[in-house]
């Protein structure tokens, strides 16, 4: 999925604080027996197509992200729904700069599939607050004004889940020198566990914000407290984002993340 700058046309946006419901119906491009009745006349939407709305030369399933004075406006093109849908339920969580959006067509029971463009605004969220946006687990936006990692040093704050508000802190919590990372170059890094110095290599793609880390201990000392888990999670990260002196390293199919604060 990639961000495009095309302006959405023909949408009426309905928003609530924690739930956005966009009522739509399928047109005769789907099987007529599966077309739901016309919904509220105040709602606008694109026709539901049996084939994806973009040409074969274009990537399908795109999202347009635009920040306005009201909040963040999302337009999701070629969103897959079943032909019997009458609404699209949109819920979100917003934690540590991560906006995680879930879209689901409803009632989602028919066997036939069609595609539509969905548009809505989530109020009260500014561009300065948002680090990364996911829709149904797929990243559609990342705000990295200066995303280079070379020469940066970080300390772990905790482990987060896109579905939860709280962070899991590692033990010992009062250890200032524990769980750090230093990217001395774009391909090598240093760090500190609990009682072990850490050394590693990394591959970073700044265009796609992908990162892969291979890190190990520099001594034979036993892994104390959560040090072994720290190493395991670092070795499983696949994506990163930076904003406001915070580094997020995503793992578990980008559903969980390690949150770091900047040390310099």
Convert the pLDDT of each residue in 185-235 to its tens digit.
889 999 999 999 999 999 988 767 889 999 999 887 778 899 999 999 999
Q: Indicate if 136 and 204 belong to the same structural domain.
A: no
Q: How far is CA 217 from CA 190, 228, 231, in A?
A: 10, 10, 9
Identify whether residues 132 and 158 lie together within a single domain: no
In a domain, 4, yes or no: no
Query: Nearest-5° angle of CA 119, CA 257, CA 151?
Result: 110
Q: How many domains does the chain have?
A: 2
> 128 and 39 share a domain?
yes
CATH code of the domain in which 249 resides = 2.40.128.270
Q: Using one digit for the tens of pLDDT, what is the confidence trace for 98-123?
A: 899 998 888 888 889 888 888 999 98
Count of CA atoms in the C-beta half-sphere (13 A) of 250: 21
* Whether the Cβ atoms of residue 230 and residue 196 lie closer than 8 Å to each other: no
Integer Cα distance of 262 and 249 in angstroms: 13
Residues 205 and 236 in one domain: yes
If asked whether residues 219 and 113 sit together in one domain, one would say no
Residue range 136-190, pLDDT digits in tens: 888 888 776 556 898 999 999 999 988 877 899 999 999 999 999 999 988 999 9
Cα–Cα separations (whole angstroms), residue 118 to 57, 103, 201: 22, 9, 41
Residue with token string 């709305």: 53
196: containing domain: 152-262
Q: Are residues 134 and 164 in the same domain?
A: no
Say if residue 170 is in the same domain as residue 254: yes
The reply to whether 123 and 96 lie within a common domain is: yes
Check the CA dihedral 170-175-178-184 and report its sign.
Answer: positive
**Residue 6 within any structural domain of the chain:** no
């Amino acid at each position: 999925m990639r961000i495009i700058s095309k302006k959405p046309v023909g949408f009426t946006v309905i928003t609530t604080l924690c739930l956005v419901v966009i009522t739509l119906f399928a047109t005769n491009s789907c099987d007529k027996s599966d077309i739901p009745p016309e919904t509220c006349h105040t709602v606008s939407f694109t026709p539901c197509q049996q084939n994806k709305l973009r040409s074969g030369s274009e990537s399908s399933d795109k999202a347009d992200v635009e920040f306005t004075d009201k909040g963040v406006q999302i337009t999701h093109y070629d969103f897959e729904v079943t032909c019997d849908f009458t609404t699209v339920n949109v819920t979100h969580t917003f934690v540590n700069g991560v906006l995680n959006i879930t879209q689901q067509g409803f009632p989602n029971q028919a066997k036939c599939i069609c595609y539509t463009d969905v548009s809505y605004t989530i109020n009260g969220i500014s561009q300065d607050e948002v680090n990364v946006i996911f829709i149904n687990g797929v990243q559609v936006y990342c705000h990295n004004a200066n995303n280079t990692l070379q020469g940066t040093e970080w300390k772990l704050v905790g482990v987060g889940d896109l579905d939860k508000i709280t962070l899991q802190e590692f033990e010992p919590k009062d250890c200032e020198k524990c769980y750090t990372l230093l990217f001395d170059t774009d391909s090598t890094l240093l760090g500190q566990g609990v009682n072990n110095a850490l050394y590693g290599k990394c591959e970073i793609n700044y265009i796609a914000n992908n990162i892969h880390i291979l890190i190990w201990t520099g001594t034979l000392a036993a892994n104390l407290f959560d040090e072994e888990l720290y190493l395991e999670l670092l070795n499983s990260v696949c994506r990163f984002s930076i904003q406001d002196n915070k580094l997020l390293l995503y793992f578990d199919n980008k559903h969980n993340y390690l949150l770091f604060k900047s040390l310099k």
